[in-house]
Amino acid sequence: MKGAYRRLQSEVGAESLPLLAFLLIMVVAFSMATPRFLTTANFSSMAFQLPVLGLLTLAMLVPILSGGLNLAVIFTANISGLALAWTLIKFGGPDGGTMALIFGMAAAIAVGAASGWVMGLVIAYTGAHPILVSLAMMIFLRGLGEFLTRGGDISGFPDQLNIIGHGGVLGIPVPMIIFCAAAIVWHVMLRRTRHGFAVYMVGSNIEASEYSGIHTKRTITVLYTISGVICAAAGIMMAARFNSVRVGHGEAFLLVTVLACFLGGIDPFGGFGKVLPVFVALIILQVLSSGLNLLGANQHLSTAVWGLFLIGVMAARWIAGNLPFLQRGKIH
């Protein structure tokens, strides 16, 4: 029994099981508090709302695993969305066809990748702190976007783009399918590839990684580039969801992406963490937000509860790691 439990922990992460238990408690509590919670409409709404935050969280996750941070995730997504919008407008706007959409998505991904690539190069080859580099990129992208759009919105896209933001396949929202696919790819990359192993090694000890023969500079550059690509995917999804692009879209998501990573057990100093617990943490945050909304709570109360929840989780982890009787009960 203990052996099976250890194997399950190794695959899904020790953080996932208590998070799943807490998620179940929340679902039961909200279903008892309001009959509107366990409805198809509510679950569909959550499935459409979660993916944008989920993609941005995945873009934040790998830099944190490497011991860094990407504060530019929101504005990388927005500038990528602007690249998509300008390309679509150039190829006919609302009358643009499938090829216009393909070119626009390619332009968005290229811009997102370029943003991440530049950050990765600077961090890897100059030794500058990731917080400072990503902060500088965030300010640059925000200023560039405001300059190019004069602070306004860009709208008027082909109907094909709506499928990404509002479509469904067999009753499952397309945004959720995209997010789940990205999470699976992230999990496989981190757990089954040499690059994933290198990310963990760099996050644990970059000097030891260099002595072990890992090309740390290339690893850092690649991981920030991939982070930029995921940001671009989030930017495309935001454009499809809102049917418009603006530099300030999603600004409130930045700290929530960090919250979701830490709630999901990602070590803030790097080197430890898995995708599945973060996935569950995102669902918890969405369930909490939707449940409070159905109960008539103010939107800002949900944000406050998110913060208190993270403080409570950190306190619980400290207690679990320091009380002797809990230490003796751990399975090794």
| Domain definitions of the chain by residue range | 40-297
3-state helix, strand, coil in the chain (%, to 5): 75, 0, 20
Reported confidence tier of residue 145, pLDDT bands at 50, 70, 90: confident
Q: What's the mean pLDDT in 53-61?
A: 94
Q: Does the pLDDT of residue 169 top 60, yes or no?
A: yes
Q: Does the pLDDT of residue 294 top 50, yes or no?
A: yes
What pLDDT is stored for residue 332 in this prediction? 40
319 against 194, higher pLDDT = 194
Q: How far is 194 from 198, CA to CA, in rounded Å? A: 6
214-247 pLDDT, tens digit each: 889 999 999 999 999 999 999 999 988 888 888 8
Q: What's the mean pLDDT in 167-190?
A: 90
Q: Does the pLDDT of residue 320 top 80, yes or no?
A: no
Q: What's the mean pLDDT in 73-81?
A: 94
250 against 230, higher pLDDT = 230
Q: Does the pLDDT of residue 108 top 90, yes or no?
A: yes
Q: Does the pLDDT of residue 273 top 90, yes or no?
A: no
Burial class (CB in 10 A: 0-12, 13-18, 19+), 328: exposed
94 against 256, higher pLDDT = 256
Which CATH number is 40-297's, of 1.10.3470, 1.10.10, 1.20.5, 3.30.70? 1.10.3470
Q: How far is 280 from 274, CA to CA, in rounded Å? A: 11
Q: How far is 244 from 248, CA to CA, in rounded Å? A: 11
Q: Does the pLDDT of residue 168 top 80, yes or no?
A: yes
What pLDDT is stored for residue 182 in this prediction? 93
Q: How far is 305 from 87, CA to CA, in rounded Å? A: 40
